[in-house]
Amino acid sequence: MKLLLVAEYKSKKFLESNYELIAFADKLKADYVMFGVGDETDLPKCEGKIYLADSEKAGEYNPSLHKKLIAEVMEKEKADFIVLPHTSYGWDLAPRLSAELAFPQVTEVVDVDDDNFILPACNGKLWRKVSTGGKGIITIQGGAFNPENDYEGTPEVINLEVPSVESKIQFEGYEKAEAVGVDLTKAEIIVSAGRGVGKKENVENVRKLAEALGGELGASRPVVDSEWVEHSHQVGTTGQTVAPKLYVACGISGAIQHLAGMKKSDFILAVNTDKDAPIAEVADVLVVADVNQFAPALAEKISSK
């Protein structure tokens, strides 16, 4: 199997998340080449080839031009799959490539099982397996394929000629969303409530623990969907991506979308009745307990000092 990995370049640098594309290729035990728009002084560290288009000529994003350049690389490399990050860049470019190359498209892949791709359905409540018959355009969910080690090496650069392409769409740049509610990205301590708290009233147990620790209240998506906590507190791929010094996950099982938003925390304490919950795989300490008993007891202990 051969993959064409489409690296994302933003704010004049290749993103660290591009290593997740390589980790995806490693998981499939697939050969790969890369495509990127950028600068030779800031290439991802890896072995193999990277087809590079000058960012000054190709722009950080130009839908018609990037599609054309990738299609040209595909003509040379005959890859089985094109793999993009599941970001706004990948969301926009993947369907254009799918239509251009007549390849099936699978989005938000979080795992692989033999020849099947696994992706969430029904807001992450279910999983489904999809097979494309050996060809396709794939976008992978952020955080789903983490590099196990730091990559080394310098890729062989193949510079691409950048043609002039007329496009009806003009990319104006990225605009940062206006911050509303609490800004969890700056919090050093976050205590998050998950579905395991049981009901809306029990969120107060988590909120009081957050106050005792001098931190902010976070929440998983099911808690926000149930309207127990406002969306501005949501952590995960559809909420805020955080990296506090301490992250306390209270009654959170650890769906991949949530893990992607908090696993860069320095220290993770998880409280869950299920010792085999996925959150245990990223937690530094797992407390197997009912969060509605543990959180008030810990908050009281801290406040009494």
Binned average pLDDT, 10 residues per bin, the chain of 305 residues: 95 90 94 94 90 92 94 96 94 96 94 88 78 94 80 93 86 75 86 96 96 96 93 85 92 88 90 94 95 96 88
List residues bridging with 50 in a β-sheet: 34, 157
d(CA 134, CA 155): 26
Question: Given this model, what pLDDT does residue 179 score?
Answer: 62
Write the CB contacts of 182 (distance below 8 Å, at least 6 apart in sequence). 216, 217, 232, 233
Question: Given this model, what pLDDT does residue 180 score?
Answer: 66
Question: Given this model, what pLDDT does residue 157 score?
Answer: 96
d(CA 237, CA 260): 6
Picking from 60, 85, 86, 58, the residue whose alpha carbon sits closest to that of residue 72 is 58
Question: Given this model, what pLDDT does residue 259 score?
Answer: 87
d(CA 260, CA 144): 7
